[in-house]
Every structure is written in structure tokens, then in C-alpha cells.
Amino acid sequence: MSEEMVKIKGGRSGLSLTFAPQVSFEDILQHLQEKLESGSGFFLRGTMVFLPRDVLTDGQREKLQKLFHEHGLICRLQPLEGENPLEQQSKAQPAPVPAESQPQAEAPQNPDTQEMLVVNKTLRGGQEIRTKSSVLVCGNVNPGAQIIAGGSIDVRGICRGMVHAGAYGDTSAIVVADHLMPTQIRIASFIARSPDHMDMTEKAERASIKDGQIVIEPIER
């Protein structure tokens, strides 16, 4: 039941959630909390998450928004038909401070609220994704393709290309894939390569930096 409790669909602006109608809100809340706290890559920091309309009370929506915010995600209601999600986001944010009242030194962007690039296709050999944000690929990353991201990388498929997370020095970045078999994997300044012969695992895998090296371990999605 837990696998059908929350369904995720990737879009250009983020992830859309739908909930099984027969499941209680308390079970959905507990399920999402366990996924977020496990650090399994179910959601990456900076992800825009859209909640379904007309199925949540104001109190339930506020609880989910608080939960996602605590884990560095941006939570909004599904945009209405014809509404631009970016416009919806700007409406929910306070008006910018006039330039003359801002400090001259611009503060670095908070990594917890950075945007996520969502790619709804398989990356083929020769294709490259380069961004300062995190990346979610709803497809495979084939040999010869590469992703260079300032944040984390999540591949909802097989990763056989080159992936570089935390490319601007973020050692807390991770790489997650349903099957992690890259030609080369980098996190910040650390580099690792896959063995010449690697069996495909049944579980998803996560690569992260531990004790000064890249460690790959199985996880539950």
C-alpha cells in the first residue's frame, strides 16, 4: 500500500503529488515524513512540490507545507489550468526590497531554496546538462551523456553516463539513481569510477561523501 499511497509526476517546474483516496491523511503525513527523514533521495533539497487541490483542508495543507519546508523544499498548491507555476510562486513571496535599501554585498543564495531542473527524457550520448541547481532526470542517463550540477542529482532510471554533483564545492550533495552505474561519478572535488563489471541491483542507490571518499549504498525509494 505504501508504494501507491503517494504518486509522483515530474514536470517542468517541479514534482506533482497525488494521494490515494482510501488512505488517511495521518498515514500520508507519516509516509512522507519517513521518506524525507531517511535521506533516501525521495525528494532533493530545493525541489518545488505541488500538492493536489480540493483534497486537503487548510490545516492539512499547512502541516505538509511545514514538513517540506523543514527539509528544504518549496511547497505550493497545484496551479490552476492556464496559470504559470512561477507566477504562483511569486504571488506567495513578499515584494522585493528597493535596490537602494539593500546591502551592497549580495548574500549567497540559500541552497535550501534553490530551484531544481527537471528533465523529462532520457539523456543520450553527447547530451549535457549543466546547471547551478539540483537536477531530477525522469529517464535514463546513457553512456556519453553527462550532468554537471551545483546541487544533487536524482535519476529515475539507469545512470550510465558521467555525473558531477556539488560541482561548485558542495560536499553535502548526493547522487541517487534507480540503478547507479556511471562511467564516472564526482561529488565536489571527489572522483570515483564504477567497476568494469557491475551487477544491476534491485534497490535504488545513493552516492555521498563519507570519511573523505565517495560511498555508494542501496536505499529505499
Q: What is the CATH number of domain 2-90?
A: 3.30.750.50
CATH 2.160.20.70 domain residues, the chain: 114-219
Tens-digit pLDDT string for the chain (221 aa): 455 788 877 666 678 888 888 889 999 999 888 888 876 566 777 778 889 888 899 999 999 989 888 887 788 888 776 555 444 444 444 334 343 433 333 333 444 445 678 888 999 999 999 998 889 998 999 999 999 999 999 999 999 999 999 999 999 999 999 999 999 999 999 998 766 555 666 788 999 999 999 999 988 76
Question: Please, what CATH class does the domain formed by 114-219 belong to?
Answer: mainly beta
Which residue ranges does the chain devote to CATH 3.30.750.50?
Answer: 2-90
Q: How far is it, in rounded angstroms, from Cα 39 to Cα 45?
A: 10
Would you state the pLDDT for residue 83?
58
The answer to whether the beta carbons of residues 115 and 130 sit under 8 Å apart is no
